[in-house]
Structure 1
Amino acid sequence: MRLLTFRSTAGTGIGVLDGDEVVPLAADADLPSSMVEFVALGPQGLARAAAVLATAPRLSVDEVRVLAPIRPRNNVMCVGKNYAEHAREFAGSGFDASQKQAVPEAPVIFTKALSALAGPGDEVRVSDDTTATSDYEGELGVVVGPGGHKVAEADAWSHVYGYTIVNDVTIRDLQKRHVQFFIGKSAATYCPVGPVIVTADEVDDVTALRVQTRINGDLRQDAPVKDLIFDIPRLIAAISAAVFLEPGDLIATGTPAGVGIGFAPPKFLAPGDLMQVTIDGIGTLTNPCA
């Protein structure tokens, strides 16, 4: 099922994207209006959504504004240097002040503030970055279903609700200056997410998906999810070893090689640029820079 959050003349709600039509789940008055609460219902919520899909009135996707599909309770959890080629390009860029390991021995976990969230089509305000070192990072996002603490790797797949796309936009100068990543990753509008959440049952093999990022139509990043250094079960186990995961939490799994700082000279974002992150089976997350 392809789930989305949207705004229409009737207000903001959640729904199912079926082709070019949106089926509002508000047709079932007992279903919640927020995606986090819907995700927490698990299979029961999906069964009721299927019933709505069969009978409810539909909207054309052109009649709504698609928003970020989910606002998790915890900060967006992110993984640094989780593709080997990107780890090496970051280590050689001069912007990695965090550690001496080029390829990490354990997952590098940081978070982005919820105030950084943006939706499909929203402007990313790179003009606010006085250092002019804003960079893109296309990533697969994992949406947590059942929460939990100290989840074993062997049980981790049962905690995956679905998948989305995250663009982990970063101010590189701040990332380097503050050593840790939070400040440079959390600028307002610097976390576009969407356009939909695709439930896990719709994805036969998530490792076969490709992450591609285009800037102004130029393909910059292109790698399969199977190239992750630390796979999804390892990430869930590592994060939940300390963090109590909540239903609807979002994990950005890492970005492939091809980010702006990997070029000589670096190719930083500028107002007027167009970012497009595509993951086959999920769609394309498009955001203009302003």
Structure 2
Amino acid sequence: MLFASFIYKGDKYIGIVQGDNVIPIKDLIGKEFASLIDLIENFSAKYIALLKDASGHEGIKLSDVVLTSPILHPKRNVICIGKNYKEHIDEIANSIDAEHNIPEHPVFFTKMVDKSVGPFENIKLHKEITSSLDYEAELGIIIGQEGSNIPKNKVHKYIFGYTIINDISARDIQRKHVQWFRGKSLDGTCPIGPYVLHKDSIPYPPKLKIQCRVNDNLRQDSTTEKLIFDIDTIVSELSKGITLKRGDIISTGTPDGVGMGMNPPKYLKEGDKVECYIENIGYLINTVK
């Protein structure tokens, strides 16, 4: 199941994507939800069969709606994982003359997001404060059950689904402040979408192709099988002493091919089209403005 948030004739909806159509959730389960977060916070196993049974529901043509970010306003910061693909560690080490050390434990940091950017919306360039805006295609995990101290073998139970996150980063601000938080938290620099894929729609753990193109040129091309710390490890480690809540978002790290890692670096410019793709989820396409 692919969950979408969208606008149709001026009204906001959440729905299930079926081919070229999207069916409002309320038409399937007879209940209205204010947002996808609202649905996740109140999700029940009894909804699964109702949501899968789309027979008799034509829905609305996707071409007639405006897709928004599936989770427009995250309730807490997006939790990010740094240095989680070996090839990316190598390329950033080369670009900043650092060591190629693979971390012994997941490297967690947060990305403050007031309002996420939806598919086909603009990424803000912020040219007045940065000249080194970069892209990072990442698999996002959406938590579906509250919990702490989660054992690795039970992590799957706590997941609601997956999405695409473009962890846009201002590299010069990162260097200036000697940490990642500010350079990754500028307004309008967290595209999420286009959909949230329910966890039961694919085998676990996910083995998904992940790519990023800039102006149709392939920059990143990898698979989530190459994660240094897998999803079980990420969620279990993060939950030690920290309560994860329904709707929390975890971004699992980016593969090699970022602009910073090129020689010379290729940072984003005004008018660039950035297209992030993850198998089974779709394409998250944005323009830098």
Cα separation, 2, equivalents of 1:76 and 1:129: 25
CA RMSD of aligned residues (A): 1.8
Cα separation, 2, equivalents of 1:124 and 1:85: 26
State whether structure 2 residue 32 is matched by structure 1 residue 6: no
CA shift in 2, pair 1:47/1:10, >3 Å: farther
Listed one character per residue, the Cα deviations across residues 188-208 of structure 1 (whole Å, up to 9, x for unaligned) are 111100000111111125442
Q: CA deviation at 1:90?
A: 1.5
Does the 8 Å CA contact 2:74/2:115 hold for their aligned counterparts?
A: no
Aligned to 2:34: 33
Aligned to 1:137: 136
Q: CA deviation at 1:30?
A: 2.4
Letter in 2 for 1:19: G
Aligned to 1:76: 78
Aligned to 1:224: 223
CA shift in 2, pair 1:129/1:225, >3 Å: farther
> Out of 89, 92, 96, which is 1:90 matched to?
92
Cα separation, 1, equivalents of 2:190 and 2:11: 23
Q: Which moved more, 1:264-273 or 1:141-150?
A: 141-150
- 1:129-278 superposed matches below 5 A: 130-278=129-277
In structure 2, the residue corresponding to 1:238 is in which secondary structure?
Answer: helix
CA shift in 2, pair 1:182/1:45, >3 Å: farther
Listed one character per residue, the Cα deviations across residues 6-42 of structure 1 (whole Å, up to 9, x for unaligned) are 1111511100111110101133552422111212314
Cα separation, 1, equivalents of 2:263 and 2:195: 34
Does the 8 Å CA contact 2:21/2:58 hold for their aligned counterparts?
A: no
Aligned to 1:43: 45
Cα separation, 2, equivalents of 1:9 and 1:116: 22
Listed one character per residue, the Cα deviations across residues 149-173 of structure 1 (whole Å, up to 9, x for unaligned) are 1111111111111111000000001
Aligned residues: 286
Letter in 1 for 2:39: F
Q: CA deviation at 1:239?
A: 1.1
Does the 8 Å CA contact 2:5/2:69 hold for their aligned counterparts?
A: yes
Cα separation, 1, equivalents of 2:275 and 2:241: 34
State whether structure 2 residue 111 is matched by structure 1 residue 112: yes
Cα separation, 2, equivalents of 1:49 and 1:81: 37
List alignment gaps of at least 5 residues for structure 1: none
Aligned to 2:64: 63
Listed one character per residue, the Cα deviations across residues 84-108 of structure 1 (whole Å, up to 9, x for unaligned) are 1101212222297xxx673211111
Listed one character per residue, the Cα deviations across residues 112-171 of structure 1 (whole Å, up to 9, x for unaligned) are 112151111110011445321000000111111112111111111111111110000000
Q: Which moved more, 1:264-273 or 1:6-15?
A: 6-15
CA shift in 2, pair 1:218/1:167, >3 Å: same
Does the 8 Å CA contact 1:127/1:270 hold for their aligned counterparts?
A: no
CA shift in 2, pair 1:181/1:213, >3 Å: same
In structure 2, the residue corresponding to 1:85 is in which secondary structure?
Answer: helix
Does the 8 Å CA contact 1:38/1:45 hold for their aligned counterparts?
A: no
Cα separation, 2, equivalents of 1:115 and 1:94: 30
Q: Provide TM-score, normalisation by structure 2.
A: 0.93
- Paired-residue identity, %: 36
Letter in 2 for 1:84: K
CA shift in 2, pair 1:12/1:95, >3 Å: farther
Does the 8 Å CA contact 1:153/1:237 hold for their aligned counterparts?
A: yes
In structure 2, the residue corresponding to 1:241 is in which secondary structure?
Answer: coil
Q: CA deviation at 1:46?
A: 2.9
